[in-house]
Structure 1
């Protein structure tokens, strides 16, 4: 593949942590279930310490991947096996996403996912609210809770289609610098803050000169790579160069992969009522 590649995301948004430098934002109010486990432990049981330089890099890369205010986008998923397209799906996603500030005293991190194609999927929807996620289809009486880790299509999980801030979800540490494609990248390790975050660990590469995400290896608790993701096709979109394609490879077979192609990205602040469980049943 000739794509300049990189990582995907999973878990939900916004800046965590230490307020010392000007670029550090006040964190979102966290769900009560997350508060007790906000400091992950290392392999020897000691708390993982946040690396200030790594956190700055992650925050800059987060803003390349997604804006920090409500927006909407279309994503087309295309699953390939042995180089042949075997499954496609198109989703319309609205992110009610902004950080704690004077404008938004509580912050927000919710997403409404509407299924567009194939036609048989019309009327289906998902709602993501911090650590929780619900699914609705016209043949169901009520929305049902689902796992963000559950596979949606190909290498893509339910939580992967929702824009995520790694800064909010992970404690990061800078491991060094190394070549990546035609650039030099920072190499970072990320360890999840809370159990509801989709992936326990991530190895993350971010271009040094641009802060463009390049690659992410999503890993299990034991350090086994689950899948590998790459960013490519950087183009200007709502005030920032952003990736318009993410390629997600199977950890065992590189010829099994799924592409995520983004389009129609725009700012949009939908009403509060759209981000309620009961609204899923009114989408038709």
Structure 2
């Protein structure tokens, strides 16, 4: 016995199949073959974390480790265009006057009573779970080649899941897995990996509030993936736009800048 369908019924069935196929492609999984979409997602998330223009922000860092005393540190960041950054140590008082200067991916530390700056690695640990590059260069879009892996749903919210591969060995991490909200490009979580593909630490972006003219994460929680209980909490405050001429980001200017409160 054969079944016959009217043209309108056939059109409806074909439309339904097409929509179902589209949902599988676009709704369940982000387009992994679209590098431009991946770059756009990472760039927008970067702009939510920090302004592209010159700015100043204060960061309080509390680090805890099992069996050790809590460590509290405070820094002032001056940054311009994600390529030029100064990290000034404000607390503890014994380290006040130390500062890091980043130009591109080159990083130096300046210390009181030491005539010459010392070259540093972005991946070197600054304090607790925080690497130098976590403060000096938070530029995912410039340091990594992104690829969309899939879409995850977390607490009812769809997330892009991206794999970020380092463009060279000079960046802070070899690989990052990055969760970004589809609805507004807010960063949600990042996993940081070594060159041997070992998970080093996990970062959560929390407490989104008005800061520096738009809604941003004002707290980052970085947890050691290898040693349970070791973590650093970064709290951002006092973010303001600031005119920062290029002469600020020079070795010759660092001594003068460190004398200004």
In the superposition, the TM-score normalised over structure 2's length comes to 0.82
The 3 A distance-change label for structure 1 pair 250 and 120 is same
Q: Is the 8 A contact 2:211 2:218 kept in 1?
A: no
Which structure has the greater CA radius of gyration? 2
The 3 A distance-change label for structure 1 pair 85 and 215 is farther
1:91-106 alignment, distance < 5 Å:
91-97=75-81
Could you tell me how far 1:222 is from its partner in structure 2?
Answer: 2.2
Q: Which structure has the higher relative contact order (CA within 8 Å, separation 6+)? A: 1
Could you tell me how far 1:131 is from its partner in structure 2?
Answer: 1.4
Task: Indicate the residue corresponding to 1:170 in structure 2.
Answer: 144
Q: 1:75 aligns with which of 59, 62, 85?
A: 59
Task: Indicate the residue corresponding to 1:134 in structure 2.
Answer: 108
Task: Indicate the residue corresponding to 2:3 in structure 1.
Answer: none
Task: Indicate the residue corresponding to 2:23 in structure 1.
Answer: none
After superposition, the C-alpha distances for 1:2-47 in whole angstroms (9 at most, x for unaligned) are xxxxxxxxxxxxxxxxxxxxxxxxxxxxxxxxxxxxxxxxxxxxxx
Structure 2 residue runs of 5 or longer lacking an equivalent are 1-32
Structure with more of its chain in helix, by fraction: 2
CA distance in 2, matches of 1:166, 1:247: 18
1:35-114 alignment, distance < 5 Å:
51-82=35-66, 86-97=70-81, 109-114=83-88
Task: Indicate the residue corresponding to 2:188 in structure 1.
Answer: 214
- 1:194 partner SS: coil
Structure 1 residue runs of 5 or longer lacking an equivalent are 1-48, 99-108
The 3 A distance-change label for structure 1 pair 130 and 50 is farther
Q: Is the 8 A contact 2:211 2:237 kept in 1?
A: no
The 3 A distance-change label for structure 1 pair 180 and 194 is same
Task: Indicate the residue corresponding to 1:30 in structure 2.
Answer: none
Q: Is the 8 A contact 1:78 1:85 kept in 2?
A: no
Could you tell me how far 1:94 is from its partner in structure 2?
Answer: 0.3
Could you tell me how far 1:91 is from its partner in structure 2?
Answer: 0.4
- 2:196 partner SS: coil
The 3 A distance-change label for structure 1 pair 119 and 233 is same
Could you tell me how far 1:253 is from its partner in structure 2?
Answer: 2.8
CA distance in 1, matches of 2:35, 2:196: 22
Q: Is the 8 A contact 1:66 1:163 kept in 2?
A: no
Could you tell me how far 1:163 is from its partner in structure 2?
Answer: 4.6
- 1:60 partner SS: helix
In the superposition, the TM-score normalised over structure 1's length comes to 0.75
Farther-moved stretch of structure 1 (113-122 vs 178-187): 178-187
- 2:218 partner SS: strand
Aligned length: 226
Could you tell me how far 1:83 is from its partner in structure 2?
Answer: 9.2
Q: 1:203 aligns with which of 177, 180, 190?
A: 177
